[in-house]
Chains A and B, each alone.
Chain A
Amino acid sequence: MKIQQISLFAENKPGHIASPSRILTKEGIDIRALFLADSQEYGILRMIVSDWQKAAAVLEAQGFVVKVTEVLAVEVPDRPGGLTDVLSAFEGTGINIEYMYAFPYLRDGQAILIFRFNDPDAAIAQLQTAGINLLASEELLNI
């Protein structure tokens, strides 16, 4: 259920995202989801890609500092309350969301939420108990 996400450190300057993007393009690696967290001076580019091992290897070979982290992808109906239902599952559990990002996909009126939890195993158990649909990495990549 865990999905490998790759994160890059980037300075917050013009053009600094273009270079990793170009490297992935050249290797034929598809970016399925992307989120840029930034401060005034630097940012973290988080991506879920079609082949994370290859992506990490080629980026590292080009001198980028790459971190692979495990995240969870949750599918929810794209309607008011969709997110609230998921978040409610964690109330009172002590499981903390370190960060999250979301994107809709148009086919089935669903949205996908990407979470990094402080305790992914506990989060999986909690989501499964609540009957919330977790996507496996193949499912996410085949959307």
Chain B
Amino acid sequence: MSTLLEPGLTHCHPASVPDFTPVEQLRALQLQRLQAVVTRAWQHVELFRSRMDELGMTPADLRSLDDIAKLPFTKKSDLRDTYPFGLFASPMKDVVRLHASSGTTGKPIVVAYTQEDVNVWTSVLVRALAGCGLHRGDIIQVAYGYGLFTGGLGAHYGAEGLGATVVPASGGHADRQIMLMRDFGVTAMCCTPSYFLHLIDRADELGIDMKELPIRAGVFGAEPWTESMRQHIESRSSIEAFDIYGLSEIIGPGVGCECSRHDGLHIFEDHFYPEIIDPDTGEPLADGCEGELVLTTLSKQAMPMIRYRTRDITTILPGKCECGRTLRRIGRIGRRSDDMLIIRGVNVFPSQIETALLQTEGTLPHYQILLTRVQGLDQMEVQVEVTPQMFNDKIGALQELHTKLQGSLDRVLGIRVKVALVEAHSIERSEGKAKRVIDRRTS
């Protein structure tokens, strides 16, 4: 068998075989699937058909993969405007699962799956987890919330599909999570990076050394995080931290994932077609250029997404990964175009604050950004929880810490911000994604 396959494939997990499909074969499959999914959406989704009509297009106009750029975009607002079921391409009798996002403003968005969609979702997660070096025999704790959020059930089905033992802990209850990790001999964890960091801190407080637990891998996603945060997590535990990417509108977690090279995230391109566009003009950008990631589901039945604008800012990395996968890679997503804050005319991303905090203390305390407007002027306060590592019982030392943090944030952000040292655990924890910004500005 090995003689027929690409290098690298001989040692890979059987489920990972599609990751190594020769490029030409992969492009042919993508075109065929693209034509089919566009036809499906055109036949069954009124909004999509009317937009195609406006452009004077039919699915027959798709002759090459490049023609995808002629298709209309789908935006998050389209999902809200057609709430709840307006973008479904399958009758409800064929839909086996509904998920919904937590709508922070207004209605949530609803996504649907046929049995085949669930199977595809499971298969990409199996491939993602296998790419992280996990396999049958691993004990995988899933600490994403189970429920309407896609994280919990998505990771669960993937881990089970891999043949691993799943601990469906769901979110929250840090002490219990740590107890399960220790008592069950958990070898891998699926959760948000900020939650894992919280678990490390909590284990510290409980006198449990995370480095002595059997856990060796973390598959972290559902929020943007930085390379410095990875280094921080890895230095305080004995795990290898992998970045997994996904969004409910496309399928949930498992759209892409890092392999052991940690050089970008492989997109499971046989199911999700990636493009990078200029977020302002909508024009496609070449590989290597930074822009907004746009994804098209190539095999989704219940709810095909054609050129969905993710708002995530990244690049398609040129060149091949050393692991031998032919799947293209995107750079790690450090920011979303949605996350950008404009403070007194200056663009600020929460990830910059993370970097500044890590630079100063070599540790990442829990933090939150509070925006207010005083006499028409934006004010930004960064609240930083004092951790045991940072705490010193001399006032002078605390003042010094305060000054250092202030200086570092001013330097990185280029604007004056207020820093407040606050008590540990005083910033509210959400069960999944960390809520980093509270905006109390009223326009």
CA gap between A69 and B426 in the complex, in Å = 24
With contacts A60-B205, A65-B387 known, is A44 near B426, CB below 8 A?
no
Determine, out of B254-262, B312-320, B391-399, the stretch whose residues face the partner at the interface. B391-399
Taking Cβ atoms with an 8 Å cutoff, the residues of A that contact B are 5, 7, 9-11, 16, 37-39, 41-42, 44, 46, 60-61, 63-67, 69, 98-99, 116
* Pairwise interchain contact A67-B393, C-beta atoms closer than 8 A: yes
CB distance from B209 to the nearest CB of A (A): 16
* Pairwise interchain contact B393-A44, C-beta atoms closer than 8 A: yes
Cβ–Cβ < 8 Å partners of B391 in chain A: 7, 9, 65, 67
Choice from A37, A61, A67 contacting B395 with Cβ under 8 Å: A37
B213 located at the interface, meaning its Cβ lies under 8 Å from any Cβ of chain A in the complex: no
Determine, out of B57-65, B89-97, B325-333, B417-425, the stretch whose residues face the partner at the interface. B417-425
* Pairwise interchain contact B423-A16, C-beta atoms closer than 8 A: yes
* Pairwise interchain contact B393-A63, C-beta atoms closer than 8 A: no
Taking Cβ atoms with an 8 Å cutoff, the residues of B that contact A are 205, 386-388, 391-395, 398-399, 420-426
CA gap between A55 and B426 in the complex, in Å = 20
CA gap between A67 and B388 in the complex, in Å = 7
* Pairwise interchain contact B386-A65, C-beta atoms closer than 8 A: yes
CB distance from B418 to the nearest CB of A (A): 10
With contacts A60-B205, A65-B387, A65-B388 known, is A11 near B394, CB below 8 A?
no
Cβ–Cβ < 8 Å partners of A65 in chain B: 386-388, 391, 423-424
* Pairwise interchain contact A99-B398, C-beta atoms closer than 8 A: no
CB distance from B380 to the nearest CB of A (A): 16
CA gap between A41 and B399 in the complex, in Å = 10
* Pairwise interchain contact B423-A11, C-beta atoms closer than 8 A: yes
CB distance from B347 to the nearest CB of A (A): 28
Cβ–Cβ < 8 Å partners of A16 in chain B: 423
CA gap between A41 and B388 in the complex, in Å = 18
With contacts A7-B393, A11-B426 known, is A42 near B388, CB below 8 A?
no
Cβ–Cβ < 8 Å partners of A116 in chain B: 393-394
* Pairwise interchain contact B398-A39, C-beta atoms closer than 8 A: yes
CA gap between A69 and B315 in the complex, in Å = 50
Q: Select from chain B the residue with minimum beta-carbon distance to A37.
A: B395
CA gap between A10 and B393 in the complex, in Å = 11
With contacts A39-B398, A44-B398, A60-B205 known, is A69 near B421, CB below 8 A?
no
Q: Would you list 22 pairs from A and B whose C-beta atoms are within 8 A, ordered by A residue?
A: A5-B393, A7-B393, A9-B398, A9-B424, A11-B423, A11-B426, A39-B398, A42-B421, A44-B395, A44-B398, A61-B205, A64-B424, A65-B386, A65-B387, A65-B391, A65-B423, A67-B388, A67-B393, A98-B394, A99-B394, A99-B395, A116-B393
* Pairwise interchain contact A11-B422, C-beta atoms closer than 8 A: yes
Q: Select from chain B the residue with minimum beta-carbon distance to A5.
A: B393
Q: Select from chain A the residue with minimum beta-carbon distance to B396.
A: A98
Cβ–Cβ < 8 Å partners of B420 in chain A: 41
CA gap between A60 and B387 in the complex, in Å = 11
